[in-house]
Homo-oligomer: A and B are copies of this chain.
Amino acid sequence: MKGIKKRSDCPISGTLDVFGDKWSFLIIRDLLFRKECTYGDFLKSAEGIATNILASRLVTLEENKIIEKLEHPTSKAKVLYKLTKKGIDLLPILIEIHLWFDKYGTTPEEIREMLELVRKDKAGFIENFTKNLES
Protein backbone atom coordinates (compact mmCIF):
# COMPACT_ATOMS: atom_id res chain seq x y z
CA MET A 1 0.00 0.00 0.00
CA LYS A 2 2.00 2.93 -1.26
CA GLY A 3 1.67 6.68 -1.84
CA ILE A 4 -1.74 8.21 -1.60
CA LYS A 5 -3.19 9.92 -4.64
CA LYS A 6 -3.92 13.60 -4.16
CA ARG A 7 -7.29 14.63 -5.55
CA SER A 8 -6.74 18.40 -5.49
CA ASP A 9 -4.73 21.15 -3.79
CA CYS A 10 -7.47 21.75 -1.26
CA PRO A 11 -6.28 21.30 2.33
CA ILE A 12 -9.48 19.54 3.31
CA SER A 13 -9.18 17.18 0.41
CA GLY A 14 -5.52 16.58 1.15
CA THR A 15 -6.24 15.82 4.77
CA LEU A 16 -9.05 13.45 3.85
CA ASP A 17 -6.70 11.70 1.44
CA VAL A 18 -4.85 10.50 4.54
CA PHE A 19 -7.48 10.39 7.32
CA GLY A 20 -10.67 10.10 5.30
CA ASP A 21 -11.79 6.74 6.55
CA LYS A 22 -13.60 5.39 9.56
CA TRP A 23 -10.50 4.21 11.44
CA SER A 24 -7.41 6.40 11.10
CA PHE A 25 -8.63 9.14 13.38
CA LEU A 26 -9.59 6.60 16.03
CA ILE A 27 -6.01 5.42 16.08
CA ILE A 28 -4.95 9.01 16.61
CA ARG A 29 -7.54 9.43 19.33
CA ASP A 30 -6.14 6.40 21.14
CA LEU A 31 -2.63 7.79 20.92
CA LEU A 32 -3.70 11.24 22.10
CA PHE A 33 -5.45 9.82 25.12
CA ARG A 34 -3.05 7.01 25.92
CA LYS A 35 0.23 8.50 24.67
CA GLU A 36 1.65 5.15 23.61
CA CYS A 37 -0.10 2.04 22.36
CA THR A 38 0.89 -1.43 21.34
CA TYR A 39 -0.73 -3.16 18.41
CA GLY A 40 -2.88 -5.08 20.84
CA ASP A 41 -4.00 -1.89 22.58
CA PHE A 42 -5.52 -0.61 19.35
CA LEU A 43 -7.28 -3.92 18.79
CA LYS A 44 -8.83 -3.65 22.26
CA SER A 45 -10.51 -0.31 21.57
CA ALA A 46 -14.28 -0.28 21.80
CA GLU A 47 -14.96 0.05 18.09
CA GLY A 48 -13.29 -3.23 17.20
CA ILE A 49 -10.98 -2.56 14.29
CA ALA A 50 -10.04 -5.59 12.21
CA THR A 51 -6.41 -6.58 12.48
CA ASN A 52 -5.67 -6.32 8.78
CA ILE A 53 -7.20 -2.85 8.60
CA LEU A 54 -5.25 -1.77 11.65
CA ALA A 55 -2.01 -2.96 10.13
CA SER A 56 -2.66 -1.12 6.88
CA ARG A 57 -3.66 2.11 8.65
CA LEU A 58 -0.58 2.05 10.85
CA VAL A 59 1.57 1.79 7.74
CA THR A 60 -0.20 4.73 6.08
CA LEU A 61 0.01 6.87 9.20
CA GLU A 62 3.69 6.08 9.56
CA GLU A 63 4.34 6.84 5.88
CA ASN A 64 2.71 10.19 6.46
CA LYS A 65 4.80 10.88 9.58
CA ILE A 66 1.77 11.07 11.85
CA ILE A 67 2.96 8.21 14.03
CA GLU A 68 6.23 6.43 14.65
CA LYS A 69 7.31 3.08 15.98
CA LEU A 70 9.34 2.72 19.14
CA GLU A 71 11.04 -0.18 20.79
CA HIS A 72 9.21 -1.46 23.80
CA PRO A 73 11.43 -0.90 26.85
CA THR A 74 11.00 -4.38 28.31
CA SER A 75 9.86 -6.68 25.51
CA LYS A 76 11.11 -7.33 22.03
CA ALA A 77 7.83 -8.99 21.16
CA LYS A 78 5.95 -5.72 21.60
CA VAL A 79 6.00 -2.59 19.48
CA LEU A 80 5.13 0.85 20.79
CA TYR A 81 3.38 3.35 18.60
CA LYS A 82 3.31 7.04 19.40
CA LEU A 83 2.40 10.30 17.72
CA THR A 84 4.97 12.51 16.07
CA LYS A 85 4.72 16.27 16.59
CA LYS A 86 2.72 16.38 13.37
CA GLY A 87 0.35 13.87 14.90
CA ILE A 88 0.13 15.60 18.26
CA ASP A 89 -0.78 18.79 16.43
CA LEU A 90 -4.00 17.15 15.34
CA LEU A 91 -5.27 17.74 18.88
CA PRO A 92 -7.10 21.00 18.08
CA ILE A 93 -9.07 19.19 15.38
CA LEU A 94 -9.99 16.46 17.82
CA ILE A 95 -11.05 19.06 20.36
CA GLU A 96 -13.29 20.87 17.90
CA ILE A 97 -14.90 17.59 16.94
CA HIS A 98 -15.62 16.95 20.59
CA LEU A 99 -17.07 20.43 21.10
CA TRP A 100 -19.28 20.08 18.05
CA PHE A 101 -20.44 16.65 19.06
CA ASP A 102 -21.20 17.85 22.55
CA LYS A 103 -23.49 20.52 21.13
CA TYR A 104 -25.54 18.09 19.06
CA GLY A 105 -25.02 14.67 20.60
CA THR A 106 -24.47 12.97 23.92
CA THR A 107 -20.95 13.09 25.28
CA PRO A 108 -19.81 10.55 27.88
CA GLU A 109 -19.38 12.13 31.29
CA GLU A 110 -15.62 11.62 31.57
CA ILE A 111 -15.07 13.45 28.33
CA ARG A 112 -17.49 16.20 29.28
CA GLU A 113 -15.30 16.92 32.28
CA MET A 114 -12.38 17.40 29.96
CA LEU A 115 -14.44 19.72 27.79
CA GLU A 116 -15.11 21.99 30.75
CA LEU A 117 -11.40 22.53 31.05
CA VAL A 118 -11.22 23.15 27.33
CA ARG A 119 -13.98 25.74 27.50
CA LYS A 120 -12.32 27.54 30.38
CA ASP A 121 -9.00 27.90 28.60
CA LYS A 122 -8.65 26.21 25.26
CA ALA A 123 -5.16 27.47 24.45
CA GLY A 124 -3.88 26.50 27.87
CA PHE A 125 -5.43 23.09 27.64
CA ILE A 126 -3.83 22.42 24.29
CA GLU A 127 -0.48 23.64 25.50
CA ASN A 128 -0.48 21.41 28.56
CA PHE A 129 -1.82 18.41 26.74
CA THR A 130 0.76 18.80 24.01
CA LYS A 131 3.60 19.21 26.48
CA ASN A 132 2.60 16.03 28.20
CA LEU A 133 2.54 14.09 24.94
CA GLU A 134 5.87 15.42 23.79
CA SER A 135 7.68 14.39 26.93
User: What is the CB-to-nearest-CB distance from A116 to chain B, in angstroms, rounded to a whole number?
Assistant: 15
Question: Does B22 lie within 8 Å of A16, measured CB to CB?
Answer: yes
Q: How many copies does the complex hold?
A: 2
Question: Is A41 an interface residue, CB under 8 A from the partner?
Answer: no
In the bound complex, CA of A77 to CA of B33 (Å): 49
Q: How large is the interface on A (under 10, 10 to 19, 20 to 34, 35 or more residues)?
A: 35 or more
* B100 with A90: CB separation less than 8 A: yes
Least CB distance from A134 to B in Å reads: 15
Within 8 A of B (CB), among A1-59: 7-17, 20-23, 25-26, 29, 46-48
Beta-carbon contact of B12 and A48 below 8 Å: no
A99 interface residue, CB < 8 Å from B?
A: yes
Q: With contacts A20-B22, A96-B93 known, is A11 near B104, CB below 8 A? A: no
Taking CB as reference atom, which chain B residue is nearest A17? B22
- Cβ of A71 within 8 Å of any chain B Cβ, yes or no, is no
**CB-CB < 8 A to A11: which residues of B?**
97-98, 101-102, 105, 107-108, 111
